Structure 1
Amino acid sequence: MVRKKKKESRKLKKSVTFNKKKLKNAILSALYEEPGRVVNYRQISSWLGVKDTEGRHLINVVLEEMKDDEYLEQISRGRYRLKAKTGTVCGIVELQPQGFAYVNSDEMDRPVLVSSRNLKNAMDGDKVRLHLYARRKKHDLEGEVTEIVERAKTIFVGTVEMSRNFAFLVPAGKAGFDIFIAKENLNGAKDGQKAIAEITEWPPKARSPFGKIIEVLGDTGNNDAEMHSILAEFELPHKFPEKVDKVAEKIPFEIPEEEYKKRRDCRDVTTFTIDPADAKDFDDALSLRKLENNNWEVGVHIADVTHYVTPNSLMEAEAQSRATSVYLVDRVVPMLPERLSNGVCSLRPNEDKLCFSAIFELTNDARVVNEWFGKTVIHSDKRFAYEDAQEIIETGKGELSAEVLTLNELAKKLREQRFKNGAIAFERVEIKFNIDEDGKPLSVYFKEAKESNQLIEEFMLLANRKVAEFIGKPEGRKKPKTFVYRIHDRPDPDKLESFNSFIHRFGYGIELQSAKAISNSMNHLLTHVKGRKEQNVVETLAIRTMAKAEYSTRNIGHYGLAFDYYTHFTSPIRRYPDMMVHRLLEKYLEGGRSANEQKFEDLCRHSSDMESRAANAERASIKYKQVEFMQGHVGEEYPGVISGITDWGIYVELENKIEGMIPIRELDDDFYIFDEKNYALVGRHNHKKYQLGDDIPIKIWRTNLEKKQLDFRLGSNDKNVDKQV
């Protein structure tokens, strides 16, 4: 009897933490049982037992997304029906190192396994249609590709391998094939060079696709060629078209006199920027003055990029296409040409600059009592590096110290309030390299956020939140106008439960009964785990339970920040969504009508996709430099911590945060079984156990720069192997 009650309460907990993915699966499962039925969000809410306003709003958002993704058709406003269901599903291919793939589909509650022979030349990231096989008990769901609906990419970067009359391009990453290049399609590429190839056709019975070289990047091992090839791997540009550069050069630095008259003049208020020491694109500045009523006026001033980049222009098309600046280990690939990003728009000291500003009146306890949004002109008095501002915070001395210290006190109160409301305190350490003039890494170091970083962060968060509330939460019963939000879905309840059961082995636990309970207990866990050997493993797994933040016109709030309304307003030099936000805010401040939602939703999806590509390119460049750095340490032994367990090997992270893998075939003392639930490999006969979070000594075995791969072997003093189950 008691056991049954427990089960029911766990079921209830799960329904409380529905996120978008879970809702999509639940809605599709319900509709498959009555395929012809027309439903609205009220009926779906009733079926799923969702009674809270937030949950019902999420159902509305999910129905809209499922219509966009063509799972549902809209019969009339707010009423939907399942599109004709066959024995097939659509999904995205996730190729595995061994050659088979998993296909992830919103129509299924688990990935579908597809063997390499049933992939029908589908590549990683392709959208495919699958025929599902009958389910076998205790086996993965399996299927075969019947149609490639949409290729993720047709352009690949890799290394040229020459034969006498033809060549192959061996792609970087996990393509799973080489591209055949006829001699006449080499475009001057030589053996061993990095190049970009385009697939022109893939005949049904051919083992390799046919292609042509469209750009030669340079010699393998050359730093520029390698960084350009990482950008090309994720289909990111490494230079601006000549026409765009020419347009940029014509944009004047001088501000016309009539422009000053149209704007609020903030030049007499103390204003400064705080940025990384090596930054050149300063998109934000802060100003501070004390008001007669003893409150504080804080200005968050953002570069007015959209004044210079106008709709339907060549520059606009380029910014929209790129959608973001890309930050590699040794360079920034900007969204806007240098003249704009580092010059005309950059809020450099001792220059008048055009801004779009959010100006707040705050009490001494950081409560906002007034706000104003609009176009301004500013004059920055000082450019601080984070280190300079940090020194003022720590010593209380330095230029503009009164302003910096006051803003820091207000920021601390804003931060405290944010965490009280349920924000989650994820603070990952950034890996940085000291590199020589040829791009070779000389040493590795870590960068941690200090109070000066948090000062800037809190005021940027405040501006982003207040701008989103201003549009998304109109007075009275008015319907909000179309806007661009930065949204963050709730965590996946299944991932949270398995994370919770894993951290129990370290004596930790999180509460799962409500969104606030999850965030509060997660913060307690992250604080408690600091400085312990399991810190990195626990933090990494905690982040994996979270959804990815993305852009959308359909607001569901930002879970990680605990904000009901949030947007990106503060970095238009490096992010296209911020440019969209500036345009919409300007339009609505002037009384304009609501913009076309579908147009902006499509741009949001594109921006989220480009952000993901940029993040992958950044990770790839870090991985490349890590492997390059470790080339000088082959044969050396280091202590490590198991950071990942898979059925093909053990991932181990060293003290310098560099990660490599011990291949499963190197564990030759037993046959090891992958225990997915407990993140462990267990020996069948001797019961030796390798588990996530365990200490493990390793020896650097081999490095493969081409694949950005670092392989380890067990160190000579592997105490872990004595550990019994």
Structure 2
Amino acid sequence: MAVEDKLISETLEIFRNNPEKKYDPEQINDILRMNGAQAFKKIVKSLAILEGEGKINVNSSGRFKLAPTDQIVEGEFRANEKGFGFVRYDETDPDIFIAKPNVLHAINGDEVKVKITKPANPWGSKGPEGEIVEIVSHGLTELVGEFQPYSDIQVKKTGMLGYVQSHEKKISGYRIFIPDEGLHPQLGDMVKVSLTRYPSKELPQSMEGVAETILGNKNDPGVDILTIVYDNDIHVDFPDDAIMQSEKIPDTVTDEERKGRVDITDQVMVTIDGDDSKDFDDAVTLWKMDNGNYHLGVAIADVSHYVTEGSPLDQEAYTRGTSTYLTDRVIPMIPFRLSNGICSLNPGVDRLSLTCDMEIDPDGNIVSHEIYPSIINSHARLTYSNVNKILDGDEELIEDNSKLVPMLNEMSELHSILYKKRHDRGAIDFEEPEAKTIVDENGKAIDIQIRERGISERMIESFMLAANETVAEHYKKMHLPFLYRVHEKPDEEKVKNFFEIASTFGVQVQGSLKNVTPKMLQEVITKTQGTPEELVTTTMLLRSMQQARYSEEPLGHFGLAAEFYTHFTSPIRRYPDLVVHRMIHQYANDKSESIQEKWSEQLPEIGQHSSSRERHSIDAERAVNDLKRTEYMEENVGEVYDGVVGSVTSFGIFVTLENTVEGLVHISNMQDDFYEYDEKQLALIGKRTHKIYKIGQPIKVKLIRADVEQRKIDFEVVLPPEEQAKVDELKKKNAARRHGGNKHRNNRGSKKPFNKH
């Protein structure tokens, strides 16, 4: 930030923190402790700029005051466990901070109206602040929690059976009282509750609800995951009408369905997926053309043919938005009969698909393409692990798949070309280790295995990206309403912080902050690859990025450095892809104004809803992941591990182990010194020893706690023996001092007993 911008920002902060107070230039000068005539001129200039922008007003006597904001906006309240929260009211504008006294008893997920009391500081990093003035609607209508029964006397006195308390941190502080009617849960049961009364001024920490379903005791196998699923509003069971519709759909392709489709069953299409995959969205084929170009065919299961618009299956798929992949189960977007059956590109059977054929030159340019409805027949179901082994030269697998090996080698060749092209244009390639938690037959975590991404995984990713970009560009250039997957430019202030950290590693970024490109950020990642700073730069870059979402506007995909991008390749598990297929079919037959108007009206809501459902699914997947990892670590309390500092906060350091498990070393457990947080260095620094803990630093830690219910893991730093001896000695001295003080106080406060003899 330039010096002038910094001064404007600091000046505005004075007004934001005291919105009712009036200041003259001399008072601002004194508060900022500026000296000299030149400095005073800069203050006056800052005030003039802020007044010109309408941020402050000036009265007839030359005194300045924050401009009134009386702006009221509507958005979703995101609660924090400590009582404050944020309201998201716009996809791109910063969230509004709501202090604890201004929450108006709103709970997480509520739709609220907010009066902005402090506007955002465009010259600095401070977002707006506000107070909730109205709760428009409650987002939380059901929740799952642990039942605590009342005694018979309490039941008679209150008319309540007891209360339910959620394990979710954002709402765990509330008690939901259950009236003595309907279901009668037992102690420790996990209960799904339909809420009938919400927090109020009179009863701020309680709610009331009816017990709808008893999931089972909290210690029963599978109940822990089911609790998280319900907490994230993810449907487990399909409605009867959706099931009936799915059962009426034939499990083979009929003669009628073949009409109007291109039969490409002779093409050597293959699916390449994970070892345990059951539903196959995509199949690929490749051959070298006479002109030296590559023909890449990407065939995607035509789910939209079976899940018809407005049908019960479609309504339920829209509600779910996406399939949810948990440690030991999949909660599908469409019933398994379809997702694993007629909609899955299983080997050796004819299937309906939408195909995107691309002709790609040796430089990775897509010189021509065609998108059309087709019939395919997958020639083989291949797995990532086996294809990786084939490409690595496994003789036995090469012999078993001899007919496919030449095509697989050419696929690997094309992937290298496409990857280079994406990299050259600036696509940011995040390489984070993936881990899979292994569970036993009762769902208990027994191992964590690191999953390596090989050439085959990257290869299929390259082909799907190419198809998604091709489809998006095709319909954008036809000027038809369409649904895009967008990823906007990162926040300027966060990027500035990212560049400042990069400069401390000796990485200088070329280019302007006002016009950040993916290439600028990619260069930082590339220059720190394989160094201790790699984790820091990757972590900070991820934090500075916006969240990808669905939109009817073709805003591009910043992370992929793609001008046009959509989701076309996974209609079995993502509703937006299903909608994209539906539009492709309709536009092939009818591009009339009425069809275009229909999609123009529907797409904004579809995009917003799909983005929201995606977040619900991700939250559930992460929560289950955290739960099972904590469960696995619970058996290892007391063990010592090597790890890396993943992030640093004012209250401690988060450490990531080699198995990707993350836990906290709380500052209260760092007993060798008093540590202070340095925001500029993103580090904790010891006051006496000057020892530094910063992101990317290797560290040895001991597991001291694994709380499965709260999904929290706590570590303490393992010090070298000589440092640990000093800490132990200091503890002894402090204990002795406390013991001596207590003894002295006890003696001083006692009286000798009366001796009558």
SS across alignment from 1:360: strand
Distance between the aligned counterparts of 1:674 and 1:119, measured in 2?
29
2:15 match: none
What is the correspondence of 1:227-242 to structure 2 with a 5 Å cutoff? 227-242=225-240
Distance between the aligned counterparts of 1:95 and 1:696, measured in 2?
33
SS across alignment from 2:180: helix
What is the correspondence of 1:350-369 to structure 2 with a 5 Å cutoff? 350-369=348-367
Q: 1:509 to 1:446 in 2, by over 3 A?
A: farther
How far did residue 526 of structure 1 move? 2.5
Q: Give yes or no for the alignment of 1:196 onto 2:180.
A: no
Q: 1:91 to 1:343 in 2, by over 3 A?
A: closer
What is the correspondence of 1:164-175 to structure 2 with a 5 Å cutoff? 164=151, 165=155, 166-173=161-168, 174-175=170-171
2:698 match: 695
Distance between the aligned counterparts of 2:445 and 2:684, measured in 1?
34
Q: 1:675 to 1:129 in 2, by over 3 A?
A: farther
How far did residue 490 of structure 1 move? 0.7
CA contact 1:703–1:710 (8 Å) conserved in 2 = yes
2:649 match: 646
CA contact 2:645–2:654 (8 Å) conserved in 1 = yes
RMSD: 3.3
Q: 1:512 to 1:89 in 2, by over 3 A?
A: farther
Q: Which amino acid aligns with 2:252?
A: E
Q: Give yes or no for the alignment of 1:426 onto 2:426.
A: no
CA contact 1:269–1:289 (8 Å) conserved in 2 = no
Q: Which amino acid aligns with 2:609?
A: H
Distance between the aligned counterparts of 1:95 and 1:208, measured in 2?
16
Per-residue CA shift, 1:490-513, capped at 9, x if unaligned? 111111111222233333343442
Distance between the aligned counterparts of 1:327 and 1:509, measured in 2?
40
CA contact 2:143–2:193 (8 Å) conserved in 1 = yes
CA contact 2:363–2:421 (8 Å) conserved in 1 = no
CA contact 2:496–2:513 (8 Å) conserved in 1 = no
CA contact 2:327–2:438 (8 Å) conserved in 1 = no
Distance between the aligned counterparts of 2:446 and 2:120, measured in 1?
54
1:321 match: 319
CA contact 1:130–1:144 (8 Å) conserved in 2 = yes
Of residues 713-722 and 247-256 in structure 1, the stretch that sits farther from structure 2 once superposed is 713-722
1:311 match: 309
Q: Give yes or no for the alignment of 1:124 onto 2:123.
A: no
How far did residue 573 of structure 1 move? 0.5
How far did residue 5 of structure 1 move? 10
Distance between the aligned counterparts of 2:723 and 2:510, measured in 1?
31
SS across alignment from 1:388: helix
Q: Which amino acid aligns with 2:421?
A: Q
Distance between the aligned counterparts of 2:256 and 2:92, measured in 1?
59
What is the correspondence of 1:409-558 to structure 2 with a 5 Å cutoff? 409-474=413-478, 480-513=479-512, 518-558=517-557
How far did residue 515 of structure 1 move? 9.0
What is the correspondence of 1:99-248 to structure 2 with a 5 Å cutoff? 99-103=83-87, 113-131=97-115, 143-164=130-151, 165=155, 166-173=161-168, 174-185=170-181, 187-202=183-198, 203-206=200-203, 207-248=205-246
Distance between the aligned counterparts of 1:185 and 1:638, measured in 2?
51
CA contact 1:641–1:695 (8 Å) conserved in 2 = yes
Q: Choose from 237, 247, 260 the match for 1:262.
A: 260
TM-score between the two structures when normalised by the length of structure 2:
0.79
Q: Give yes or no for the alignment of 1:376 onto 2:378.
A: no
Q: Give yes or no for the alignment of 1:86 onto 2:70.
A: yes
Q: 1:674 to 1:576 in 2, by over 3 A?
A: same
What is the correspondence of 1:382-393 to structure 2 with a 5 Å cutoff? 382-393=380-391
2:612 match: 609
SS across alignment from 2:436: strand
Distance between the aligned counterparts of 2:498 and 2:182, measured in 1?
50
Q: 1:142 to 1:597 in 2, by over 3 A?
A: closer
How far did residue 97 of structure 1 move? 3.7
Q: 1:482 to 1:404 in 2, by over 3 A?
A: same
CA contact 2:485–2:567 (8 Å) conserved in 1 = yes
Distance between the aligned counterparts of 2:639 and 2:526, measured in 1?
34
Distance between the aligned counterparts of 1:144 and 1:186, measured in 2?
39
CA contact 1:274–1:386 (8 Å) conserved in 2 = yes
Distance between the aligned counterparts of 1:225 and 1:191, measured in 2?
15
1:70 match: none
Q: Choose from 578, 599, 604 the match for 2:602.
A: 599
Q: 1:596 to 1:91 in 2, by over 3 A?
A: closer
CA contact 1:624–1:708 (8 Å) conserved in 2 = yes
SS across alignment from 2:392: helix
Per-residue CA shift, 1:292-337, capped at 9, x if unaligned? 5554432110101011111121111111111101011121111010
Q: Which amino acid aligns with 1:189?
A: P
2:26 match: none
Q: Choose from 645, 657, 662 the match for 1:659.
A: 662
SS across alignment from 1:372: strand
CA contact 2:164–2:178 (8 Å) conserved in 1 = no
CA contact 1:351–1:380 (8 Å) conserved in 2 = yes
What is the correspondence of 1:271-290 to structure 2 with a 5 Å cutoff? 271-290=269-288
Give % identity: 34
Distance between the aligned counterparts of 1:685 and 1:98, measured in 2?
31
Q: Aligned pair count?
A: 649
Per-residue CA shift, 1:563-619, capped at 9, x if unaligned? 111111111001110111011111222242224313111011000111111111111
Give the unaligned 5+ runs of structure 2: 8-49, 58-67, 156-160, 727-757
Distance between the aligned counterparts of 1:4 and 1:200, measured in 2?
55
Of residues 597-606 and 180-189 in structure 1, the stretch that sits farther from structure 2 once superposed is 180-189
Q: 1:213 to 1:671 in 2, by over 3 A?
A: farther
1:676 match: 679
How far did residue 148 of structure 1 move? 2.0
SS across alignment from 1:592: coil
CA contact 2:492–2:513 (8 Å) conserved in 1 = no
How far did residue 718 of structure 1 move? 8.8
SS across alignment from 1:395: coil
CA contact 1:179–1:211 (8 Å) conserved in 2 = no
Distance between the aligned counterparts of 2:325 and 2:92, measured in 1?
35
How far did residue 531 of structure 1 move? 3.9
SS across alignment from 2:272: strand
CA contact 1:432–1:446 (8 Å) conserved in 2 = yes
Q: 1:34 to 1:502 in 2, by over 3 A?
A: closer
SS across alignment from 1:633: coil
SS across alignment from 2:554: coil
Q: 1:719 to 1:651 in 2, by over 3 A?
A: farther
Q: Give yes or no for the alignment of 1:582 onto 2:581.
A: yes
SS across alignment from 1:661: strand
Distance between the aligned counterparts of 1:285 and 1:345, measured in 2?
12
How far did residue 141 of structure 1 move? 6.9
Q: Which amino acid aligns with 1:155?
A: E
CA contact 1:326–1:618 (8 Å) conserved in 2 = yes
Distance between the aligned counterparts of 1:136 and 1:569, measured in 2?
38
Give the unaligned 5+ runs of structure 1: 9-27, 36-83, 475-479
